[in-house]
Amino acid sequence: MTTATLSLSGLTAAATEAARTAAAATDAERAAWLHAVADALDANAAELVEIGEAETSLGVPRLTGEVARTTGQLRLFAAVITEGSYLEAVIDHADPAATPPKPDLRRILRPIGPVAVFSASNFPFAFSVAGGDTASALAVGCSVIVKAHSGHLRLSERTAEIVADALRGAGAPEGLFALVSGREVGTALVQDPAIKAVGFTGSIPGGRALFDLATSRPDPIPFYGELGSLNPVVITAAALQARAAELAAGLAGSFTMGAGQFCTKPGLVFIPAGTSFAHQVAEASKDKPTARMLTSRIAEAYPEGLRSFAAVEGVEVAGGSIDQDAAANGAAPVVFATTAAKVLERPEQLLEECFGPTTILIEYTDQQELSAVLAEVPGSLTATVHAGPGEDIGALVEQLSGLAGRVLFDGWPTGVAVNWAQQHGGPYPATTSLFTSVGATAVRRFQRPVAYQDAPESVLHPALREANPLGIPRRVDGELKLP
Residue type, 285: S
CATH code, domain carrying 371: 3.40.309.10
Residues 385 and 437 grouped into a single domain: no
> Which of 409, 444, 472 marks a domain boundary?
409
pLDDT for res 39: 98
Residues 143 and 26 grouped into a single domain: yes
pLDDT for res 372: 98
Domain assignment present for residue 369? The answer is yes
CATH code, domain carrying 22: 3.40.605.10
- Average pLDDT of adjacent 10-residue blocks, the chain of 483 residues: 72 98 98 98 98 94 97 98 98 96 98 98 96 98 97 97 98 97 96 98 95 97 97 98 97 96 97 97 96 93 96 97 95 98 96 96 98 98 96 97 98 95 97 96 98 97 97 97 92
Residues 184 and 207 grouped into a single domain: yes
Q: Which residues pair with 132 in a beta bridge?
A: none
**With b meaning 16 or more CB within 10 Å and e meaning fewer, what string describes 122-132?**
bbbbbbbbbbb
Residues 32 and 97 grouped into a single domain: yes
Residues 325 and 461 grouped into a single domain: no
Residues 116 and 142 grouped into a single domain: yes
Evaluate whether 127 touches 211 at the Cβ level (below 8 Å): no
Residues forming the active site = 226, 263
Residues 217 and 248 grouped into a single domain: no
Domain assignment present for residue 418? The answer is no
pLDDT for res 187: 97
Domain assignment present for residue 419? The answer is no
Burial class (CB in 10 A: 0-12, 13-18, 19+), 103: middle
Q: How many domains does the chain have?
A: 2
Domain assignment present for residue 414? The answer is no
Domain assignment present for residue 114? The answer is yes
pLDDT for res 5: 62
Domain assignment present for residue 278? The answer is yes
Residues 310 and 262 grouped into a single domain: yes
Instruction: Map 415-467 to HEC letters.
Output: CCCCCCCCCCCCCCCCECCCCCCCCHHHHHHHEEEEEEECCCHHHCCHHHCCC
Among residues 465, 479, 431, 458, the alpha carbon closest in space to that of 198 is found at: 431
Domain assignment present for residue 374? The answer is yes
Sheet of strand 105-111, all strands in order from the earlier edge strand to the far edge: 447-453, 105-111, 90-92, 474-476, 479-481
Residues 211 and 247 grouped into a single domain: no
Assessment of whether the complete model's pTM goes beyond 0.85: yes
Domain assignment present for residue 423? The answer is no
Residues 197 and 242 grouped into a single domain: no
> Which of 353, 374, 409 marks a domain boundary?
409
Residues 474 and 354 grouped into a single domain: no
Residues 189 and 243 grouped into a single domain: no
Range of the domain at 85: 8-227+432-481
